[in-house]
Amino acid sequence: MTRTPAQPQDAPPITPAWVQDAVFYQIFPDRFARSGRVTGLSLQAWGDTPHFHKYMGGDLWGVIEKLDHIAGLGVTAIYFCPVFQSASNHRYHTHDYYQVDPMLGGNDALRALIDAAHARGLKVVLDGVFNHASRGFFQFNDLLEQGEASAYRDWFHVDSWPLQPYDESRPANYAAWWGNRALPKFNTNHPAVRDFLWNVAEYWMQAGIDGWRLDVPNEIDDDAFWQEFRRRVKAINPEAYIVGEIWGDAHRWLAGDQFDAVMNYHFTRPCLAFFGGQTLDHPMNERSGTGHVDAMDAAAFGQRMTEVTQMYRPDIVRAQLNLLDSHDTARYLTAVGGDASAYRLALTFLMTYVGAPCIYYGDEIGLPGGPDPDCRRAFPWNKSEWDQTTLALTRALIAARHATPALRSGTFRVLHAEGNGLVFLREQEASHAVIAMNAAQDDRELPLPNVPKARYRDVLSGESFELCPCKTVPVPARSARLLLPE
């Protein structure tokens, strides 16, 4: 497939301007909040152990009721796991791309949510599952009913007849995502399929969403498909955010003609390795999406995170969706053996690093969870169960990020990285911030080479310090200082 050359380094920014200033919040709809407005359902009790096939009953009306909590964190954008009609609690098995699942409140709930979010200054990004559909998708269901006579036989990759969508003892006879016959793969070479999927993208953009997170987009191995997808989406809203789920190298999709950014798992693994290196639950990670993680010291971490800032063009790096965990991994807190100090250190780094930080729902109040489905627990709305220290830190860090241009768009430079101590500088024109992190089990004095001489206030503790390259700064065990000039 012919690829469009990357734009030169001096080309104008190609990413939405708002994203570098954004803080995202990821919601798994079935487990976030239940409004009680959707009735007549057989549901698990809220907070029961998550199950692959059972429903907890969270809905979009419930999200609307909890927008004050989300906005109160300082969050400015919400990324939703799939919301379209489906016969699965995660809704990656799409039945109807034009209908929000009735269990979530239907199209009316999504439209009300978009309006309510926008009224609070919150963007809304939806999950687009365009590589595959489901056995319940009408066009595939027609294949099951009509066989070779189906009008939609070319919409999928059929090897032979009859199709076997449920009998695991026989070949499925059609292509499916990773061989999962519940997820028949679209034939995106077919013009009708291409138009169908592009039209879906346009429809929801016109309904007011602010972008798309694209599920396994690398499996639609066709640059022209994504180039046209981008053209259509951006024609409706030039500031729409297109972010792909690419776990490895993403240069192919980040040349300026396809995606704006990707989910930055290059950020995730080093944060587990350094901040959580002393308590990593290796068997847990090996069962999770992140896989095996070896511990890093500060020098290796600082070098790796510098490399990550240099992987792509600066405007793309500033738009990367940085995350500590997601619906596809164990929650960070559980992956590091329940060490809350490791999560708080990683959270501090997340909010002070280059790119758009994303909080997975519940992390802000200490919600644990192992690999899928345990990482998709119901949000505990009883505040007595919340980790108030982590919640307060989340709010303070987000407020500092919003108030400090250097934390949103400044350069990243490691000043000191040795043992368990890390000091780095974020700098943008007249704005700068110094972040000193101590991952050791005892208090440390960290050196400050090349720190601009000034009086600084630690926004996390309220303490003030006179800093210069000749001095050190005291940092308590397993904590950090976010130092801004007074």
The question of whether 115 is a catalytic residue gets the answer no
DSSP 247-283: -S--GGG-SSSS-SEEEEHHHHHHHHHHHTTTT--HH
Catalytic residue among 215, 257, 315, 372: 215
Residue 196 burial (CB < 10 Å; 0-12/13-18/19+)? middle
The closest of 225, 216, 236 to 92, measured between CA atoms, is 216
**What one-letter code names the amino acid at 476?**
P
Q: Cβ(291)–Cβ(282) under 8 Å?
A: no
Residue 153 burial (CB < 10 Å; 0-12/13-18/19+)? middle
Catalytic residue among 127, 210, 228, 245: 245
3-class secondary-structure state, position 177: helix
Phi-psi label, residue 316: left if phi above 0, alpha if psi -120 to 50, beta otherwise: alpha
Cα–Cα distance between 143 and 163 in angstroms, integer? 8
Residue 200 burial (CB < 10 Å; 0-12/13-18/19+)? middle
Could you tell me how far CA 217 lies from the centroid of its own chain? 15
The question of whether 219 is a catalytic residue gets the answer no
Residues assigned a catalytic role: 215, 245
